[in-house]
Amino acid sequence: MIVEIVNTGTELMLGRVLNTHQQWLCARLADLGCVVSRQVAVADTAREIERAVRESLSRADVVIATGGLGPTSDDLTRAVLAEALGRELVEDAAVRAHIEEFFARRNRPPPPGTLVQARVPEGALVLPNPNGTAPGLIIEIAPNPMRVGGARGWLVMLPGPPRELQPMFDDSVAPWLLRTLPLRSGFVCRTFRLHGIGESSVQDRIAGPLEAMVAAGLDVGYCARPGRVDVRFRAEGESAGRLVDDAARVLDQHVGAFVFGTGEEELETVLVRRLTAAGCTVAIAESCTGGIIAHRLTNVPGASAVLLAGWVTYSNHAKQALLGVGADTLGRHGAVSDPVAREMAEGARRATRADYAMAVTGIAGPGGGTADKPVGTVFIAVAGPDETHVWKMFNPWDRATFKEVTANQAMDGLRRMLCGLPLEPRDVRQLVTPKPL
């Protein structure tokens, strides 16, 4: 099954936007057992779109084209490809109704020109777009004259905005692929997410125990990011399920404490779930992380059941006035210190009467470092009913990565406290953030 991707958009060719579709679609398709053989990006001119799609259709069973389905004069994909495939555009009543309702809800008449998105190539499968106006489209091309041998092909057209494309792919395209195409049978893929241990260390611990399974057909993949690593087990055929189950057991046995979730779960999702299950609440006192921990927690539906409040005490005065950190503590140890982190966490817990609190104080850079406390130095505190645990990390990354890495460390610390796991991994070497990639 040959799949190619064509991403259209002049903004891509000018480098104005980052093409996230390529990674996202390739990962989704790989998880379905289908490796994309080529991805192409072209400007949104009629000539480039048609040429790229024709070339891909000369090689592939399925071509996924993204972008250009909107209502403006730049949006050519639908009309150009319908014409190239010899299909008339006809109005789809359901799509038209959806577009009209979309604007009605916003108390606006549909802007002129927007209803062109209700015109779909004759015979196309229309994919609903609850997050926007332009529907997705799937056209079957049987026979496919662009391909030697004329084998049947499909052209899938998806809207450009990721928040429209991604749910549409998951809800409509993936099920369509599974029922329409001969994807590999018995294909099993499971991903485990680990924090606080490096890729090489994981490999050291599990490669030996997994050797026999790998010989029996198990595929093991590692995807490392700063401070984290995903371990992916894939297998196909009759014994696929059993192989992956056995591999999961090996992983749990050797590095189980580091596994925080599966699939694409984030630490914040896991935390909200565990706190909710325990009927517990949390407060967050941030400084150098600037609000990212609260922001990530509140991305999780149901966070309001567990998060009482967060602070971003960016100045020393705010730490004192809002969290009760002692002027004396600040004076003696400085803002970036164990005692200040401890007082921030305990102050947050007191002020809200939350069961747990996380606090972070550190130096995000690029400025602010000293010989004693270089950029990347951070103290993290987790305060609970029984104890407050504080530990120091060194996260020498650019500011954005520093924030994410530090937020992960704080959240994983709370996860470990909730699970009764040691907060500092036994191998202290793992505390130091692994080499950047």
In the region spanning residues 315 to 374, those forming contacts with a copy of itself, defined by CB under 8 A, are: 315, 317-318, 321-322, 351-352, 364, 366-368
CB 222 within 8 A of CB 199: yes
Residues 55-74, interacting with a copy of itself (CB under 8 A) = 70, 72, 74
Total residues contacting a copy of itself by CB under 8 A comes to 108
Q: Which is nearer to a copy of itself, 111 or 143 (CB)?
A: 111
Question: Which of residues 175 and 314 has its CB atom nearest to a copy of itself in the complex?
Answer: 314
User: CB–CB of 19/76 below 8 Å?
Assistant: no
Q: How far is the CB of 122 from a copy of itself (least distance, A)?
A: 26
Most distant CA atoms of the chain, gap in Å = 81
Residues of span 372-401 touching a copy of itself by CB under 8 A: 394, 396-401
Interface with a copy of itself in residues 295-314 (CB under 8 A): 295, 297-299, 301, 303-304, 307-314
- Minimum separation from the CB atom of position 257 to a copy of itself (A): 21
| Shortest spacing between CB 420 and a copy of itself, in angstroms | 27
Between 418 and 437, how does the x/- string for binding to a copy of itself read (CB under 8 A)? -----------x--xx-xxx
Backbone torsions φ then ψ of 391, nearest 5 degrees:
-145, 160
121 vs 310, beta carbon nearer a copy of itself: 310
Min. distance of Cβ 290 from a copy of itself in angstroms? Answer: 3
Q: What angle do CA 370, 373, 378 make, to 5 degrees?
A: 140
CA proximity to 87, closest of 157, 158, 141:
141
- Is position 228 an interface residue for a copy of itself (rule: CB under 8 A)? no
Could you tell me the smallest distance in angstroms from the CB atom of residue 36 to a copy of itself? 5
Shortest distance in whole angstroms from residue 123 CB to a copy of itself: 27
**Residues numbered 188-217 forming contacts with a copy of itself, rule: CB under 8 A:** 191, 198-200
Choice between 367 and 420, CB closer to a copy of itself: 367
Residue owning tokens 């209502």: 71
Window 98-157: residues binding a copy of itself (CB under 8 A) = 102-103, 105-108, 111-114, 131-133
Which positions from 13 through 42 interact with a copy of itself, judged by CB under 8 A?
13-20, 22-30, 35-42
Tell me which stretch binds a copy of itself (CB under 8 A): 85-93, 135-143, 290-298, 384-392: 290-298
Each residue 241-270 as x (binds a copy of itself by CB under 8 A) or -, in order, gives ------------------------------
The whole-angstrom separation of Cα 181 and Cα 189 is 18
Stretch that binds a copy of itself, among 76-84, 246-254, 288-296, 409-417 (CB under 8 A): 288-296
Q: How far apart are CA 401 and CA 61, in angstroms?
A: 39
Stretch that binds a copy of itself, among 80-88, 221-229, 271-279, 418-426 (CB under 8 A): 221-229
Residues 164-183 that bind a copy of itself (CB under 8 A): 164
Nearest approach, Cβ of 10 to a copy of itself (angstroms)?
A: 7
Asked if omega into 366 is within 30° of 0 (cis), the reply is: yes
